[in-house]
Structures are given as structure tokens and as C-alpha cells.
Amino acid sequence: MSRNTVAGWSFILPNFVGFAVLTLLPVVVLFYVAFTNWNVFGVAEWTGTANFRRMWDDASFWTALRNTVYYTVFHIPLTLAASLGLALLLNRKLRGVRFFRTVAFFPYITSIVAIAVVWNQLFSPEYGPINALLGAVGVDNPPGWTTSSTWSMPAVIIVGTWRYMGYYMLLFLAGLQTIPAQLYEAAETDGATPWQRFVHVTLPGLRHTTFFVTVLLTIESFKVFDLILVMTGGGPGQSTLVLSQYIYQKSFEENQFGYASAVSIVLFAICFSITVIQFMVNKRRNS
């Protein structure tokens, strides 16, 4: 080994050891545990594909999967639209634009528990301002929000979108800065309307950013956990139970680490395949 190699290794070693011990090793172990029956104490008993077969007949697993997809399908387009809209709005030369950008980013850095407490009160069916407002504009039967199994998921999606739009707005703002101003000037000279400029200049110019944001949003939506845990705890009933929470329940509450690991692998496989598909589609578009 040359002196340089040793020096190089010594620089990356502390970081790599941390990564290996705290990330890589648990992931590898997870793939093994998923094929066992293990309650944390003692030896894991090899059960082959039993955990995966069990999942097939487990109604709660399917409920959690359905709810996760429900959240994702609505959360992604809503957040994309909201964050892009905000970015376009705050990309202009307005008075106090920095202040508004900061305000939009605020929810992202606010504690999730505080968010849940405040939004739960806003959503309160009897005393909350949201239903008071709906009542004032003539809605006779305002929804029960987090206390109703029909409306709890929409409530969570609204809060999720509100929380994350500031972060993705920032990414879109960065993307907008990279579009050359000459393109807009040329389009304007050619008589393009604001909508035409948006569709033919802004959107193509943002393609890389949009792709990046969509991939991040997909992964983030599929593994949504903390927001739902503190807002509804998965309820009422199982109406907002999502996969990551189901994994938590099976592992840390019921000590079925084997089964929980198997569900984790399914969640991983879903995230992984959708991301791969997104990359493939993006590559084809680029070529």
C-alpha cells in the first residue's frame, strides 16, 4: 500500500465505519431477518418465505398498502402544483419577496408535533375554525376530518402538502434561476402569451428539477410516518394506517421483527421499482 492510499483510507474510514455499522449492516441484517421468526430475544428461527405468504392473507397489510398508495397518489400532484405555483409567484421581483419565501418555508422546519396539535385543533369538527368557515359559506354537513374514517386521509394529505410545499418550492426556485432570461425575452418578442411562455419555456427548462422533485416526493410519500403517527395514530380504525406505521406496530409494539422486516422489504421494493421506472422514463425523454 502506498503512503497515499493509506492516507486516503484513513480519511474516509471514520465516515465509512459509521455508515457501515449504522446503515449498511442493519440493511443487510434486515434482508436476513425477513426470512425468520424473531422476537428480538434469542435466535431467529429460519422460516423461509412464510412471512411473505402471511402478508398475502393479511388484510391489515393490504389496508396499509392501499392507504399508502392513496396518500401518495394525491400528495405528489398536489405538492408539485403547490410548490411550483409558490415558486413562480415568489420568483418575481416583489417587495418583501424574501420574507414571503421564508414564510413559505416555515412549515418545513416546524416541529411535526406542533403541526399536528395545531392542525388537529383547526380540523376539530365541533370547535375548529375550518368547519366554522365551511359553515359560514353554506356547507351544511362539514366533514369530521381526523375524527372520520372517510375524511381523515384527506386531512392528512392537506397537512402533508402544506408542510412540504415550502421545501420543494426552494428546489423549484433554484431551477427557475437556471432558465436563461433571454429565452423569455425572445418568446415575448415573438408575441408569446404568459401561458405559452410557461408551457414552452418554463416547464421544459424545469424538466430536470421536476424529475428530481418527483423522485424525492415519491420516496417521501411512500415512507410517510411521523406526520400520520402524531396526527391520527393511523385511525380512526385503520383509516390512515400506512405501511411504515404498520412496520413499526409489528416490530416495536408486537415484537414480530421477522414479519416487520418482510413488510419493510416490500416497501423498499415498491419505492425502488417506482424510482427505477421514473429514471427509465426520464432517460427515454432525454434521448
Partner 1 sequence: MKRAIPAVISAATALALVLAGCGGGDEPVDPNAPVTITLAGWSLSSTPEFKALADGFKATHPNVTVELKEYAPGNDYDTQMITDLAAGTAPDVYVMKNLKNFYTYQSGGQLLDVSDATSGLGSSPALASYQVDGKAYAVPYRQDSWVLFYNKDLFAKAKVAPPDGNWTWDDYTDAAKRLHTGLKGAGSNATGAYQHTFQSTVQGFALAQTPNADLLSGDFGYLKPYYERSLDLQAAGAQPTFGTAKTNKLTYQAQFGKQQSAMLLMGTWYVATLLNQRQSGDADTFQWGIAPAPQFDKSTTGTSATPVTFGDPTGLGINPKISKSKTAAAKAFLQYAAGPDAGKALAGIGITPAQVTDAVTATLFGLAGVPQDDLSKFAYAKHTVKPENPVSKHTAGLQNLLNETHSAILSDSKGVDAELSKAQARAKNEVLNQ
How many residues make up the chain in this entry? 287
Smaller CB separation from partner 1, 56 or 195 = 56
Residue 166 binds partner 1, judged by CB under 8 A = no
Residue 124 binds partner 1, judged by CB under 8 A = yes
CB of 70 to partner 1, least distance (A): 17
Q: Of the listed pieces 103-111, 118-126, 180-188, 264-272, which binds partner 1 according to CB under 8 A?
A: 118-126
User: Binding partner 1 by CB under 8 A: which of 108, 225, 249, 278?
Assistant: 249
Residue 236 binds partner 1, judged by CB under 8 A = yes
Containing 273, the helix (H) or strand (E) segment is helix 257-286
| Strand ranges (E), the chain | 36-37, 45-46
User: Binding partner 1 by CB under 8 A: which of 7, 136, 137, 181?
Assistant: 7
Write down the residue that cell numbers 422460516 correspond to: 47
Smaller CB separation from partner 1, 180 or 237 = 237
Smaller CB separation from partner 1, 113 or 174 = 113
* 79 in Cβ contact with 164 (< 8 Å): yes
* 14 in Cβ contact with 248 (< 8 Å): no
Q: Map residues 52-81 to x or -, x wherever contact with partner 1 holds by CB under 8 A.
A: --x--xxxx---------------------
User: Binding partner 1 by CB under 8 A: which of 30, 148, 274, 282?
Assistant: 148
Smaller CB separation from partner 1, 3 or 284 = 3
Containing 175, the helix (H) or strand (E) segment is helix 152-177
Residue 39 binds partner 1, judged by CB under 8 A = yes
Residue 154 binds partner 1, judged by CB under 8 A = no
252-261 b/e with 16+ CB inside 10 Å = b?
Answer: eeeebbbbbb
Backbone angles phi, psi at 53, to 5 degrees: -65, -35
User: Binding partner 1 by CB under 8 A: which of 237, 269, 273, 279?
Assistant: 237
Burial class (CB in 10 A: 0-12, 13-18, 19+), 263: buried
Residue 195 binds partner 1, judged by CB under 8 A = no
**How many residues touch partner 1 (CB under 8 A)?**
42
Residue 36 binds partner 1, judged by CB under 8 A = no
Residue 260 binds partner 1, judged by CB under 8 A = no
* 90 in Cβ contact with 104 (< 8 Å): yes
Residue 273 binds partner 1, judged by CB under 8 A = no
- Cα dihedral: 87, 90, 93, 95 (round 10): -170
Cis peptide upstream of residue 125 (ω within 30 degrees of 0): no
The amino acid sitting at 80 is: L
Smaller CB separation from partner 1, 209 or 261 = 261
Taking only Cα atoms into account, the Rg of the chain, rounded to an integer number of angstroms, comes to 23
Residue 20 binds partner 1, judged by CB under 8 A = no
| Binding site residues, partner 1, CB under 8 A | 3, 6-7, 39-42, 54, 57-60, 117, 120-121, 123-128, 144-150, 233-239, 241, 249, 252-256
